[in-house]
Amino acid sequence: MTVTLADVAARAQVSPATVSRVLNGNYPVAAATRERVLKAVDELDYVLNGPASALAAATSDLVGILVNDIADPFFGIMAGAVQSEIGGPGGRAGGERLAVVCNTGGAPERELTYLTLLQRQRAAAVVLTGGAIEDAAHQAAMAAKLRRLAEAGTRVVLCGRPPAPETGAVALTFDNRGGGRELTDHLIGLGHRRLGYIAGPQERTTTRHRLEGHRAALAAHGIEEDARWTVHGRYDRQSGYEATLELLRRDPSLTAVVAANDSVALGACAALRDSGRRIPDDVSVAGFDDLPFSIDAVPALTTVRLPLAEAGARAGRIAMGREEAPIGGIATVRGELMVRGSCGQPRGV
Amino acid sequence: MTVTLADVAARAQVSPATVSRVLNGNYPVAAATRERVLKAVDELDYVLNGPASALAAATSDLVGILVNDIADPFFGIMAGAVQSEIGGPGGRAGGERLAVVCNTGGAPERELTYLTLLQRQRAAAVVLTGGAIEDAAHQAAMAAKLRRLAEAGTRVVLCGRPPAPETGAVALTFDNRGGGRELTDHLIGLGHRRLGYIAGPQERTTTRHRLEGHRAALAAHGIEEDARWTVHGRYDRQSGYEATLELLRRDPSLTAVVAANDSVALGACAALRDSGRRIPDDVSVAGFDDLPFSIDAVPALTTVRLPLAEAGARAGRIAMGREEAPIGGIATVRGELMVRGSCGQPRGV
DNA sequence: TTATACATAGAAAGCGCTTGCTGTACGGCT
DNA sequence: AGCCGTACAGCAAGCGCTTTCTATGTATAA
């Protein structure tokens, strides 16, 4: 029913081996023969059987990309950049590779399951994006899995994620701590002394690092933090909205709200507006990531730009072996403070 | 080096056939034997070889999702919804399936290439999202490809895309024309008579349908359209910014700008603000899609909500055969007008 | 007790491709 | 003329799994 290599071989009057070599182009075939084969391929509408090739050659052209939430541009941008570099159609590289984008939803077990699935497919490479989950058992399981993947020849690259020692994985880590520090430094420089902080989910490295940066800035300026000033939530708009209301209830005198990311910041802005406060006159708001929409907020968000596309592209190239891994297998990617309208001096300064 | 089925069989003291049956669970195996096998699997850290399974069983657990731009939430939301339904880890369905998200970048040839790649992998199903490209040659090529996929047993679902007759593909089509019509009706109802329109790229069905809806509304109200009032651009913010400036240059008396989608609308808002106009006092702005950030624009965008997540989920279920296809293989998904602050009455009404 | 059905496990034949090795023909060299 | 190197092309052995068919042991019926 389906046409196979042998059918093509028969029609072109050559052996299956020759057809295979024409299609893979890694062995000399006389021009005339090649023509005949290509013609037969075309006439029969032949399409190689991927699984069979993969089995015989013990390689695959699948590349896995793990993301927390594909609907979030933060991940979409990185995934797109990775994909553009791994050499899928339209990419710069040669062989055609298929990107497998896996949506973990931030769930530990799904992260692991997807990795197994990718291992099962004998993926050529895997890129993991986003922060890691801070759970000892899970981290051990992940490390074991990554090690096994590496052993099986799958290149593993972490993009925007802390290093995973002894796994053979290359890490491109975002300097969340530094960015958080710089952002809060800026606010303090403007005169703020009472700053609310809307953190992400508790058990994530990204959350912790950004918060640590924030606190480091406070400490450096001798500002004693009030425990009521920190609220944890999810990395989305709604969470930002609710958290801001909570923050305001706890301490209505806050002059600034620092959000875990831009989506949260947008929610914060909405909450502030809905409660009759003006930004930045009454309360300043800061985000993180600098996603495309952040500049369209009114006022535009002051935030820390993370070079998501660049980092993703680099991760893709490293995964494909087209760029050397950084020394030590670890590189830190810094963010850049984007000063815009959503942060100003507090009243009376 | 790598552990195979045979290794597991040897350790569990059973035949490879039995191990396979335990792992696939589609043949009676005595409980005691199953235990032994599972134990061996665990001890050896065995992971099935996907390509080999696929080859032997002539089936695969890959599902392809074609999107124009993975970094755009419009597609991200649909892709995420499809994925949540196809039964990957964490999904509702049983067998574990891998979603392959393919970024076509809107390029015709990449669309085709990805389809071939998916065909090569013997994908279980393919979901194509986003508008189709209006080029006769390309459409014929696509139709042929889709037909061949269907023949090979791959289920094909179009999500937010016009039907592809005679291909066996199920289509969940967005009512872009109706939505566009309703939106412009609304603006006219507010008193607008001079409306600029920022359309998407020329050769896309989505662009054409939305524009047709807009024009139908104008015609229905006896408003003669000025050719200068329509500008084509891309589906992004920057394009919206530039197009708005162009529109304003052509006719500074416009009282409303209708954008091809929300991103374009955001760009339009920025351009209007930068040129010193207030929204909606001086000029009203309308978008399309109702992406999450649209409500955070200031003023919030009046737009047409497309149920992206619902449509994607349904497409996913149909692709998995878990929901019946609509009668005739075609269903129209309607948008909903969201009236918000970015549209108001024009001056002097 | 013997015949018969049933439950379970194994043997073996592929699935469609890749690739190391083995021809074979031809041209150039001595 | 004889030899050898080169350039192709083919043979055939798998790659690791699934699945049909067959074998064996056990329970039930006659």
Q: pLDDT tens, B231-267?
A: 999 999 999 999 999 999 999 999 999 999 999 999 9
What is the torsional sign of CA B102, A70, A213, A330? negative
CB contact under 8 A, B47 and A116: yes
Q: Report chain C positions within 7 A of protein CB atoms.
A: 7-12, 14-20
B89 has a pLDDT exceeding 70 = no
Name residues 39-58 of chain A with a Cβ under 7 Å from nucleic strand C: 48-49, 52-53, 55-57
- Joined together, the tokens standing for residue B231 give 């500008």
B interface test, pick of A59, A120, A272, A340 with most B CB neighbours within 10 Å: A120
Q: Which residue in B has a C-alpha nearest to residue A295's C-alpha? A: B270
CA distance B220 to A222: 67
* pLDDT tens string B114-166: 999 999 999 999 999 999 999 999 999 999 999 999 999 999 999 999 999 99
* pLDDT tens string A161-172: 999 999 999 999
CA distance B283 to B342: 9
Position B335 confidence tier, pLDDT thresholds 50, 70, 90: very high
CA distance B285 to B264: 10
CB contact under 8 A, B102 and A98: yes
The pLDDT value given to residue A27: 87
Position B1 confidence tier, pLDDT thresholds 50, 70, 90: low
The pLDDT value given to residue A89: 55
A30 has a pLDDT exceeding 60 = yes
The pLDDT value given to residue A349: 67
Cα torsion at B170, B171, B172, B174 (round to 10°)? 180
Mean pLDDT of B73-89: 89
Q: How far is B342 from chain A (nearest CA, A)?
A: 13
Mean pLDDT of A317-344: 96
Q: Which residues, 6+ apart, have CB-to-CB distance to B95 below 8 Å?
A: B61, B87
Q: How far is B64 from chain A (nearest CA, A)?
A: 9
Tell whether B293 lies on the interface with A, counting CB pairs under 8 A.
yes
Which has the minimum average pLDDT: A54-68, A168-182, B75-89, B287-301? B75-89
Closest by alpha carbon to A125, among A71, A65, A176? Answer: A65
- What does pTM read for this prediction? 0.92
Contacts of B152 in chain A (CB under 8 A): 2
Q: How far is B280 from chain A (nearest CA, A)?
A: 14
B276 touches strand C (CB under 7 A): no
Name residues 204-243 of chain B with a Cβ under 7 Å from nucleic strand C: none
Position of tokens 């061996």? B40
B93 has a pLDDT exceeding 50 = no
* pLDDT tens string A41-51: 999 999 999 99
- Joined together, the tokens standing for residue B253 give 């008396």
Dmax (CA) of chain B: 89
* pLDDT tens string B187-199: 999 999 999 999 9
CA angle B223, B225, B195 (to 5 degrees): 85
* pLDDT tens string A276-303: 999 999 999 999 999 999 998 889 999 9
The pLDDT value given to residue A94: 46
Sheet strand arrangement including A256-259: A230-232, A195-199, A256-259, A284-286
Nearest to A237 among B104, B292, B298 (CB): B292
CA of A38 and C1' of C29: distance in angstroms? 37
Q: Taking CB atoms and an 8 Å cut-off, how many pairs form between chains A and B?
A: 179
Q: How far is A48 from chain B (nearest CA, A)?
A: 6
pLDDT over 90 percentage in chain A: 89
CB contact under 8 A, A293 and B296: yes
The pLDDT value given to residue B334: 97
- Joined together, the tokens standing for residue B159 give 């999500």
Q: Which residue in A has a C-alpha nearest to residue B75's C-alpha? A: A71
CA of B330 and C1' of D23: distance in angstroms? 52
- Joined together, the tokens standing for residue A17 give 């081996």
CB contact under 8 A, A89 and B113: yes
The pLDDT value given to residue A253: 95
CA angle A272, A278, A282 (to 5 degrees): 95
- Joined together, the tokens standing for residue A185 give 């430094």
Number of H helices, E strands in chain B: 12, 12
A91 has a pLDDT exceeding 60 = no
CA of A52 and C1' of D16: distance in angstroms? 11
The pLDDT value given to residue A298: 85
Tell whether B340 lies on the interface with A, counting CB pairs under 8 A.
no
Closest by alpha carbon to B187, among B303, B271, B268, B291? Answer: B303
* pLDDT tens string A184-201: 999 999 999 999 999 999
Tell whether B94 lies on the interface with A, counting CB pairs under 8 A.
no
Tell whether A116 lies on the interface with B, counting CB pairs under 8 A.
yes
Taking phi over 0 as left and psi of -120 to 50 as alpha, with beta for the rest, A326 belongs to beta
In A85-191, beta strands by DSSP E: 98-103, 125-129, 155-159, 170-174
Kind and range of the H or E element at A76?
Answer: helix A73-85
Number of H helices, E strands in chain A: 12, 12
A92 has a pLDDT exceeding 50 = no
The set of residues with CB closer than 7 Å to nucleic strand D is A 13-18, 28-30, 32-33, 55-56, 58; B 2, 4-6, 16-17, 20-21, 23-24, 26-27, 48-49, 52-53, 55-57
Tell whether A84 lies on the interface with B, counting CB pairs under 8 A.
yes
Bond prior to A280 in cis (omega within 30° of 0)? yes
The DSSP line for B279-344 is TTTT-EEE-SB--GGGGGSSSPPBEEE--HHHHHHHHHHHHTTSSPPPGGGEEEE--EEE--TT--
Q: Roughly how many angstroms between the first and final C-alpha of chain A, as a whole number?
A: 80
Tell whether A191 lies on the interface with B, counting CB pairs under 8 A.
no
Closest by alpha carbon to B110, among B125, B85, B130, B86? Answer: B130
User: A179 near A288, Cβ under 8 Å?
Assistant: yes
Tell whether A117 lies on the interface with B, counting CB pairs under 8 A.
yes
- Please count the other Cβ atoms lying within 10 Å of the Cβ belonging to residue B282: 15
Contacts of A80 in chain B (CB under 8 A): 69-71, 103
CA distance A303 to A331: 22
Mean pLDDT of A123-136: 95
CA of B28 and C1' of C4: distance in angstroms? 21
CA distance A300 to A287: 10
Position of tokens 């999202």? B129
Q: Which residue in A has a C-alpha nearest to residue B238's C-alpha? A: A292
CA of B10 and C1' of C21: distance in angstroms? 32
Mean of per-residue pLDDT scores for chain A:
94
Closest by alpha carbon to A56, among A89, A16, A95, A94? Answer: A16
Closest by alpha carbon to B304, among B201, B213, B241? Answer: B213
Q: How far is B117 from chain A (nearest CA, A)?
A: 7
**Could you tell me whether strands A330-333 and A170-174 are parallel, antiparallel, or unpaired per DSSP bridges?**
parallel
B282 has a pLDDT exceeding 50 = yes
Closest by alpha carbon to B4, among A64, A115, A120, A49? Answer: A120
Tell whether B269 lies on the interface with A, counting CB pairs under 8 A.
yes
CA of A14 and C1' of C23: distance in angstroms? 15
B341 touches strand C (CB under 7 A): no
Position A2 confidence tier, pLDDT thresholds 50, 70, 90: confident
CA B338 to chain centre: 20
Position B92 confidence tier, pLDDT thresholds 50, 70, 90: very low
Q: How far is A38 from chain B (nearest CA, A)?
A: 16
- Please count the other Cβ atoms lying within 10 Å of the Cβ belonging to residue B347: 10
CA of A17 and C1' of C22: distance in angstroms? 14
Mean of per-residue pLDDT scores for chain B:
94
The pLDDT value given to residue B91: 45
Q: Report chain D positions within 7 A of protein CB atoms.
A: 7-12, 14-20
B327 touches strand C (CB under 7 A): no
The pLDDT value given to residue B260: 96
Q: How far is B41 from chain A (nearest CA, A)?
A: 14
* pLDDT tens string A200-259: 999 999 999 999 999 999 999 999 989 999 999 999 999 999 999 999 999 999 999 999
Position A1 confidence tier, pLDDT thresholds 50, 70, 90: low
CA distance A248 to A254: 7
Which alpha helices (H) appear in A126-175, and where do they start and end? Answer: 136-151
Position of tokens 């958290």? A243
pLDDT over 70 percentage in chain B: 97
The pLDDT value given to residue A174: 98
Closest by alpha carbon to B257, among B232, B284, B275? Answer: B284
